[in-house]
Amino acid sequence: MLKKVFQRPGYLKKAAFHYCPGCGHSIVHRLVAEVIEELGVGEKVIGVSPAGCAVLAYYYFDVDIGEAPHGRGTAVATGIKRSLPDRIVFSYQGDGDIAAIGTAETIHTANRGENITVIFINNGIYGMTGGQMAPTTVLGQNSTTTPGGRDMIRDGYPLDLSEMLAITRGSVYIERTSVSSPKNIRRTKRAITKAFKVQIAGLGFSLVEILSPCPVNWKMSPVDAVKWIDESMVKTFPLKVIKDEIAKEI
């Protein structure tokens, strides 16, 4: 008798992802669904999907999902969580959504210490709209609105949102990971698990920033894209635990 070691998580619908070849969203969706299943909280979870590539998250996650206006994910999640404090609420947002148009909502949600979990996909580009500069586009990186590369004089610097959130007093756990290799994927899953556990324990605001490949808009092969994360992107966005105020193991 063979042991089943890998299967579709219970909280992913039987739908094919619409994401582009080599995109990191599908990996992160799977990880979030696995964590929800392993923590046994699927019937209590309410997710918030963003405007951006992951807007269709409600086609994939088999949990209750509400769609937020662009950038407002953490405000919508706040409204849900405060109305139903015993539910597990997460918002899933891309870099343009969370670090440009939704910066104010995100900082204040973290600073209020809202007991929610944020999954922040950083692929350094506006994917759904066709590859414009994101707040997280690194210096020198090409995009349709930074031809010749992001220039600090013209375009300003990439925004270190997670580090900014870490200095708010309300945030308790913030980690930056990537899905560029099996090892990093496992690390990402551990971080997502911890972030949800922080919420389950009622400790406050948790966020996992995940460096994620966008081969189509980066104009790279999927293999080159993950290599670019490991060799270039991490220089601007180093993988690390940015804040961890959890006193004991949870």
Name the residues that contact other proteins, by CB under 8 A: 42-46, 48-49, 51, 55-56, 58, 61-69, 72, 75-84, 87-88, 104-105, 107-108, 112
Query: Between 58 and 227, whose beta carbon lies closer to other proteins?
Result: 58
- Please give the single-letter amino acid code of residue 205: F
Helix (H, G, I), strand (E, B) or coil at 203: coil
Q: Which of 115, 75, 118, 77 is nearest to 95 (CA)?
A: 118
Query: Between 61 and 237, whose beta carbon lies closer to other proteins?
Result: 61
Query: Between 70 and 190, whose beta carbon lies closer to other proteins?
Result: 70
- List the structure tokens of 132: 């414009």
What's the closest the beta carbon of residue 127 comes to other proteins, in angstroms? 15
What's the closest the beta carbon of residue 222 comes to other proteins, in angstroms? 25
Alpha-carbon distances of 236 from 80, 163, 174, 219, 248, rounded to whole Å: 34, 12, 17, 20, 30
Query: Between 108 and 187, whose beta carbon lies closer to other proteins?
Result: 108
Query: Between 54 and 234, whose beta carbon lies closer to other proteins?
Result: 54
What's the closest the beta carbon of residue 68 comes to other proteins, in angstroms? 7
Residue 4's Cβ-count burial label (10 Å; 0-12, 13-18, 19+) is exposed
Q: Which of 86, 9, 84, 22 is nearest to 223 (CA)?
A: 22
Task: Give 48's DSSP letter.
Answer: E
What's the closest the beta carbon of residue 39 comes to other proteins, in angstroms? 13
- Please give the single-letter amino acid code of residue 245: E
- Residue 77 and residue 173: Cα distance in Å, rounded? 17
Query: Between 77 and 161, whose beta carbon lies closer to other proteins?
Result: 77
What's the closest the beta carbon of residue 63 comes to other proteins, in angstroms? 5
What's the closest the beta carbon of residue 64 comes to other proteins, in angstroms? 4
- Residue 201 and residue 39: Cα distance in Å, rounded? 12
Phi then psi dihedrals of residue 178, to 5 deg:
-145, 170
